[in-house]
Amino acid sequence: MDYDFKTKLAAERERVEDLFEYEGCKVGRGTYGHVYKAKRKDGKDEKEYALKQIEGTGISMSACREIALLRELKHPNVIALQKVFLSHSDRKVWLLFDYAEHDLWHIIKFHRASKANKKPMQLPRGMVKSLLYQILDGIHYLHANWVLHRDLKPANILVMGEGPERGRVKIADMGFARLFNSPLKPLADLDPVVVTFWYRAPELLLGARHYTKAIDKDWEDIRKMPEYPTLQKDFRRTTYANSSLIKYMEKHKVKPDSKVFLLLQKLLTMDPTKRITSEQALQDPYFLEDPLPTTDVFAGCQIPYPKREFLNEDEPEEKTEKHENHFVNWPLHHVISLLHYNSFQNIDTHCIYICLCKK
């Protein structure tokens, strides 16, 4: 490259450390990097930003994927990428996002702790419904644009704090996301990385390699799943004899004919060809019933959740999810359900948490 041009370029290049104050403000550690809360040094705006430093150096496959997708995506429920910084001195890649003060993981953790301390916190009426609606809206947008997130989990469902977008859900962390097209490559060949498998759809747990149109019955094609023999070997029918969604809900006083229960059932359908899509779910009668979903999931109420804490640079973040407890510890008899949510082309691994409020 021409020397003068190179020098000019280097002089003009904006450097993240010149523009933003973020030292000591680490708020998250994801699969693909470190996230800092940041503010502009020049005071051009008082906004809070999230700066994500991508793990490793140079533009890796996942960084490239995340940047390429985020540049194209624009939806109120998908986190907006503001800028990309390439730090030439250490070959680090930085992504600048709007800052979201909360996420579903911390919200759930807060409620579990408040229940454990015998001070259960009431959720604003309709908050669960609004969360679900906005998650579905964001997923539908992604799927309609042929993007599969593939790592949806509570920590990646961000919620905006005080400000113009108060209480707005933002789906984040596109590191695993991929564009999908037809015909699909075998799913198992795409990414050998083990993603958080608690949120995987049952057909993916059973090793589905690609989307097949199953012949109806209960779930006829389960027998064709690569891991079906393993399931047969390890599965003790007696362990699950008394487990059913209806029984579980009865215990928590959710009526089996309520709209919320019916929607849950549709989302939890084992057979991926019968499970409803995000688009269908958005049209569900549950969302037309009072209380209606609101753009501010907190519905104007005071936000009781603490702000993000700064993490010690070397300290690993406590993000090990104690799934076994989600079902037993949820306050106010809410049920947080792991929804193996699959939509559009029926190949996604999306699973969403739904909290069903006790009436």
Contact residues: ligand AMP, CB under 6 A: 27-28, 30, 32-33, 35, 50, 52, 79, 97, 99-100, 103, 155-156, 158, 172-173
* Closest distance of CB 301 from ligand AMP, Å: 21
* Closest distance of CB 51 from ligand AMP, Å: 9
Contact call for residues 35 and 51 (beta carbons, < 8 A):
yes
Q: Could you tell me how many helices (H) and strands (E) the chain has, helices first?
A: 12, 13
* Closest distance of CB 48 from ligand AMP, Å: 8
Query: 80 or 270, CB closer to ligand AMP?
Result: 80
185-to-178, 188, 302, 315 alpha-carbon distances in Å = 12, 9, 47, 39
Q: Could you report how far apart the first and last alpha carbons of the chain are, in Å?
A: 68
Query: 106 or 275, CB closer to ligand AMP?
Result: 106
* Closest distance of CB 49 from ligand AMP, Å: 8
Q: What is the DSSP letter of 186?
A: P
Query: 32 or 286, CB closer to ligand AMP?
Result: 32
Residue 151 annotated in active site: yes
Task: Output the CA angle 209-265-246, nearest 5 degrees.
Answer: 125
Rg (CA), the chain: 22
Query: 57 or 230, CB closer to ligand AMP?
Result: 57
109-to-26, 124, 167 alpha-carbon distances in Å = 20, 17, 18
Query: Looking at 98, 103, 137, 151, which residue is catalytic?
Result: 151
Q: Is 52 annotated as a binding residue?
A: yes
What whole-number distance in Å separates Cα of residue 221 and Cα of residue 225?
Answer: 7
What whole-number distance in Å separates Cα of residue 141 and Cα of residue 123?
Answer: 27
Binding site for ATP, by residue number, is 52
- Which residues does the annotation mark as catalytic? 151
Binding site, by residue number, is 52
